[in-house]
Amino acid sequence: MIDKFISVHIHKTAGSSFFEIIRNNCHKKFIMDDHDVFWYLFTDASQYEEYDIIHGHFTVEKYMYLNRPQVTIMREPVERVISEYFWIKKMIKGNFQEMSIAPHFEEEEGFKNIYNYAEYRPNVQYNYMKDTSNFDWIGIKEYFNKSMHDFFRWFGADVPDNISKVYRRKNNQKDLIINKPREYIKRFNLLDYELYTDVLNRYEN
């Protein structure tokens, strides 16, 4: 069984669902490193020893000095951009005005549409990961259940009887983004597609 690992949570890739499952089934002590959760984080590696899992929104380089296995989940890049865009708009409407990105949705010269947003945040998955070789396990949102079975085999534990996504969010607005605009968004995520295609082929083959 894997004793300790780092979990890199890329936005809108089912990372929250993934973490809920491992938290409920791996019986490990964890610490969150997240923009939205205030935990004491350490600079001395020895202070992390009591924590088996470090999970949150950070890039792969941050905890390399701990020399632990690293895991993450990816998502089809255009779908990830669309999901993130509409999620942020929803959060801002829900009075999450303190989000650092909120002003860009309100200023006259800010994001007039999702295509401006795609230009503003290109290749997010690549920026988090840099290369698939940096990770010991990578899941795919589009193969979520298969990924979870694969994860527990890698982890060295029995696969839970009922694996299901903890969060099932449906955003009908994203269905309005048709083929031509999707191709435009794809132009700003070509590095993401290189990494994603590599991992997707492993699951499909």
Just give the CATH number of 5-204: 3.40.50
Residue 94's alpha-carbon distances to 77, 97, 173, 205, in angstroms, are 26, 8, 17, 42
Helices marked H in the chain: 15-25, 77-93, 102-106, 114-120, 124-129, 144-155, 179-186, 190-204
Instruction: Name beta bridge partners: 55.
Output: 7, 32
Please list, in sequence order, all residues whose beta carbon lies within 8 angstroms of the beta carbon of residue 96, skipping any fewer than 6 positions away: 102
Integer-rounded Cα Rg, in Å, for the chain is: 18
Cα separation of 152 and 155, whole Å? 5
- Percent of the chain surpassing pLDDT 90: 52
The reported pLDDT for the residue numbered 39 is 54
Helix (H, G, I), strand (E, B) or coil at 178: coil
Instruction: Name beta bridge partners: 140.
Output: 74
The reported pLDDT for the residue numbered 45 is 82
Instruction: Name beta bridge partners: 149.
Output: none
**pLDDT tens digits for 9-44?**
999 999 999 999 998 888 899 988 875 555 556 778
The domain spans of the chain are 5-204
Residues of the chain with pLDDT under 70: 35-41, 93-112, 164-179
Cα separation of 65 and 6, whole Å? 11
